[in-house]
Structure 1
Amino acid sequence: MRLNAADLTALIGLCREQIEQHCERLGRLDSAIGDGDHGANMRRGLEAVYRERDAISALPLPAALERIGLVLVMSIGGAAGPLYGTLLMELGRGLAVGEEEADFAAILAQAVAAVARRGRSGPGDKTLLDVLYPVQAEIAGHAAPLRIAECARNAAQATEMMLARRGRASYLGARSIGHEDPGASSCALLTRAICLYFKENAPS
């Protein structure tokens, strides 16, 4: 996984744009099964990362990912900040100790496992992990970027019929069924933004 400063700056901007465009929808999803602030929280987090984009992009990729994760932890409220932050920080740490041609799928698997431990959740609990697990599997299978993006979107949509077992949504019991998980939705949006960039711009 080789990204230069220009690639990372562009990706930060694209992720910010995706969350901005879908902020209201994420808020509506969260209003149905949570406290309604997921869109606003994600927008605040991505804006915070965007403000530091030049300094972040000047860092080596492992350090840049760790810094993004830390910014998200500090700026996103609720459960999303620690979960997204853990994912990015663990990715950075994994890349830092790996070889130059490190197996990104294996590093991602370790990062996803860290998110699961942090959230004390797993597959089928109606969380962003229900997107991260299938995305990691597609990456391990060397799927094309568009296939990964489609997988993420389908996985997020599949959470609609799941019973929430973690977080505020779990208090609703069966009433959580019929609503897409907002964390899974934001994860799919970010995954799509990244995948489209990789499709259109082979990172150097």
Structure 2
Amino acid sequence: MTKPVGIILAGGLATRMGGGDKGLLPLGDGTLLSQVIDRLAPQVEAMALNANGDPTRFAGLGLPILPDSIDGFAGPLAGVLAGLDWAAAQGATQVVSAAADTPFFPRDLVDRLTQAARAANAPIVLAATLDPDRGPMRQPTFGLWDVTLRDDLRTALEDGLRKVVQWTDSNGAAQAVFDPDPFDPFFNVNTPQDLTRAQSLLESAP
């Protein structure tokens, strides 16, 4: 494969949106999730969706639906693991993860992550946004992950690890830093107010 494969992480509980599937909320001419799919598709070789529960609610997307293999809503790393296992079955060597509630992530995300991985010879690269006061702020749901790490990740999750950066730091993660101008490209929709803002940003985009 010439590009990594992609995993869209939609396995969360969406408690601040009242539960349900945030990704299926309307945004623009489609849904929050369709915006994410359209943005990621040109950057990857193939895509799958990490989601738990009844997979038929996503039947119209035409994507493989991958549930967590770790019980108890173990967080985004469980979704990354599902993606790594799927990628291995496809013969892919790398997976790029993207969150299902973040519709404006960079269109050069995969290129920048791949360049950073090569430059640092790192098995993991996390996206980061540059904060003028605090420096690079990592975005742990957006990353490039080497498939060879899946067994280590599985063991860590089974042992109770849940914090993304704790595991990525232990595996020598690098980062790719993105400019937040004119707004944070990793802005994610957590509340009804965020969805309203996302609609305004979409309408004002060139």
- TM-score normalised to structure 2 length: 0.30
- TM-score normalised to structure 1 length: 0.30
